[in-house]
Amino acid sequence: MPARKKIGVLISGRGSNMMSILDACERGDINGDVVVVISNKANAEGLQKAAERGAEALAVSHRDFPDRELFDRAVVEKLEKREVNLVCLAGFMRLLSPWFVSRFRNRVMNIHPALLPSFPGLHGQKQAVDHGVKISGATVHFVDEKLDHGPIIIQRAVEVRDDDSEDSLAERILKIEHQIYTEAVKLFCADRLHVEGRKVFIHDK
């Protein structure tokens, strides 16, 4: 069994995926611990939730910095000080700078509410409904320098119903997000992921 991994989570809001990761760590499903939760918004609901669960919760406002990279450097300083192995974006509404990505290459995960490369960016669920697709879903991927573009770790499909709205589809996709995000984190913390180019390989136990 590899050493337990230290996980940092970045949020901007309620942090529902953060809570699913915390739950999985507490159950022992993940060989790791959430050692810090950082939000760019001091009033983010997820910060209080994280603190109530015993995780260190910090606010670092992007408004205090003149550009994206300087903000990222402040966040990375806090992550590296805590020797974080894996960074999980959970509703973090900021694009990471190339500098940040280079510091944590193949060690930053994101969850997106669509089957990438379809419907990147905001409101993936609405894009799916408006486009009339029959299948959508969720994607966990490693973050690279482009938006919603990095190597894909896990995807899971969700049927798009004829009467779906953005909200109804988002509700069903969110349940899948919680499942596959914790699954991807579990694989990382078990040293079972290997990246070659755009492909992520999952090794046997």
Catalytic residues: 112
Q: Where are the beta strands (DSSP E) in the chain?
A: 5-11, 32-39, 56-59, 86-89, 108-112, 135-142, 152-159, 193-196, 199-202
The residues with which 109 forms a beta bridge, in sequence order, are: 88, 142
For residue 6, the SS3 value is strand
Integer Cα distance of 22 and 36 in angstroms: 11
What does the DSSP 8-state code read for residue 88? E
CB of 91 within 8 A of CB of 44? no
For 152, the token pair is 């894909």
Integer Cα distance of 167 and 164 in angstroms: 8
Q: Concatenated DSSP letters for 151-162?
A: PEEEEEEEEPPT
* Contacts (Cβ under 8 Å, ≥6 apart) of 99: 69, 72, 73
Using the structure block, give the residue that is written with the tokens 């603190």: 51
